Amino acid sequence: MPSFKYTAYGKDGKEIKGSIDAEDKQEAIQMIKSEGNIPIDVSEAGALNKDMNISIGGGKKVSSRDLSVFCRQFVSITTAGVTIVDALDMLSEQTESKTLQAAIADTKLSVQKGDTLANSMAKQGDNVFPRIMISMVAAGEATGNLETAFDRVGAQMEKQTKLAGMVKKAMIYPIALLVVIVAVVVAMMIMVIPTFSDMYSDMGQELPWITRMLVSCSDFMVDKWYVVILVVAAVIVGIKMFKATEMGTYLFANISIKAPIFGTLTVKTASANFARTLSTLTASGISMIEALEITARTMKNVIFRDAIIEARDKVAQGRPLSEPLRNGGVFPNMIVHMIGIGEETGNMEDMLVTAATYYEEEVELATESISEVVQPLIIVVLAGICGTIIMAILIPMFGMYDLASGGDI
């Protein structure tokens, strides 16, 4: 989804700058106005502008873990009878994240000037307080259940942190082994093969094709190492630039869904996030249409995001949610059936919670399965690569020994 940088006047008349994610410029303008601000300049942010907006808007993005701790502490303090302003003042001093600390202090000042807590938090940008949090706080203020809203947001952030942790756990080991494979191959090419290459040149016999290819690769890496680095850097930059395009975004999204072994993990993770976020929002009193829009913005995979946006449009037309989800063919049948049952029984929230719990458990099982499958697979690959290199080194030596034996006889 495109990001737009903007300059606007806030309710207090001061100029504010930030960035916001939206489908197009008109939607970005409407979102800025809905926060009570008057947009002055709105333009789509490129890669450079995005980085600038992040630094201007208060530093790096606040983690889900820091937000969950903030929510839990806010509930504990306000439940004890402390006012919102005093609670924010206390939390700004206790929070470890410098970015969040500054954002809480600014939020406190805005609340002191008479603005609502939700609007004050929204001024800090999506890098600090995500839209799901702003919407739930606004709903909590409207219904008088602010502590409940923060409690639900805290639980939501904790679930997101746990889910992201499980996915990272599944990815760390394969990536670490791949790094080891690359390091071993490069070390052998640079330090081991040149030693044997000099010996082969003195043998005076034709080398097998696999040995010639290995020696040529080694000589190229030793003599033209800067070319190798430039090519690798160019490939990485090219992939990142292509991934930033619309075609690249959808291509990589498709690959992440259909990739062997890891595709199932992607689908289950997206299903868990969808069900948990939607259940949290609807339980807070937010309408289904708005909840679907916010949920779509939390999805990292653009294919799932588009499916939810399409479902939102169909729900706005009076269709049941399960129908567009089923027709979209993106989400698993299990979650579609559970949502359908929730619609028939009028117990949507509980069914969404049940679906979220089920898929969170499935993600945990999937991460364990991936570790069990990938570990021996990568070891076999490593053994195959190293074995091929060793055989390419030894074959000419065997030939040399045969010639020496024949000469003695």
**Domains in the chain with CATH codes:** 3-56 (no CATH), 64-158 (1.20.81.30), 159-409 (1.20.81.30)
What pLDDT, in 10s, does the model give residues 67-119?
A: 888 888 888 888 888 888 898 888 888 888 888 888 898 888 888 888 889 88
Q: C-alpha dihedral over 182, 184, 186, 191, to 10 degrees?
A: 180
* pLDDT in the model for residue 81: 86
What pLDDT, in 10s, does the model give residues 140-182?
A: 888 788 888 888 888 888 887 888 787 777 777 778 878 888 8
Q: Kindly indicate the confidence band of residue 341, based on its pLDDT and cuts at 50, 70 and 90.
A: very high
Q: Kindly indicate the confidence band of residue 251, based on its pLDDT and cuts at 50, 70 and 90.
A: very high
* pLDDT in the model for residue 406: 55
The number of CA neighbours under 13 Å toward the Cβ of 76 is 9
Instruction: With a cut of 80, say whether residue 400 has pLDDT above it.
Output: no
Token pair listed for 19: 């960035």
* pLDDT in the model for residue 32: 77
Tell me the three-class secondary structure of the chain, residue by residue: CCEEEEEEECCCCCEEEEEEECCCHHHHHHHHHHCCCEEEEEEECCHHHHHHHHHHCCCCCCCHHHHHHHHHHHHHHHHCCCCHHHHHHHHHHHCCCHHHHHHHHHHHHHHHCCCCHHHHHHCCCCCCCCHHHHHHHHHHHHHCCHHHHHHHHHHHHHHHHHHHHHHHHHHHHHHHHHHHHHHHHHHHHHHHHHHHHHHHHCCCCCCCHHHHHHHHHHHHHHHCHHHHHHHHHHHHHHHHHHHHCHHHHHHHHHHHHHCCCHHHHHHHHHHHHHHHHHHHHHHCCCCHHHHHHHHHHHCCCHHHHHHHHHHHHHHHCCCCCHHHHHHHCCCCHHHHHHHHHHHHHCCHHHHHHHHHHHHHHHHHHHHHHHHHHHHHHHHHHHHHHHHHHHHHHHHHHHHHHHHHHHHHC
Token pair listed for 31: 């979102």
* pLDDT in the model for residue 49: 47
pTM across the whole model: 0.68
> What's CA 319's distance to the chain center, in Å?
31
Q: Which residue has the higher pLDDT, 12 or 88?
A: 88
CB–CB of 314/327 below 8 Å? no
Q: Kindly indicate the confidence band of residue 202, based on its pLDDT and cuts at 50, 70 and 90.
A: low
- Mean pLDDT score of the chain: 81
Is residue 120 packed enough to be buried (19+ CB in 10 Å), middle (13-18) or exposed (0-12)? buried
Q: Kindly indicate the confidence band of residue 254, based on its pLDDT and cuts at 50, 70 and 90.
A: very high
Instruction: With a cut of 60, say whether residue 22 has pLDDT above it.
Output: yes
Instruction: With a cut of 90, say whether residue 123 has pLDDT above it.
Output: no
Q: Which residue has the higher pLDDT, 351 or 156?
A: 351
- Beta-carbon neighbour count of residue 153 at 10 Å? 28
Instruction: With a cut of 60, say whether residue 408 has pLDDT above it.
Output: no
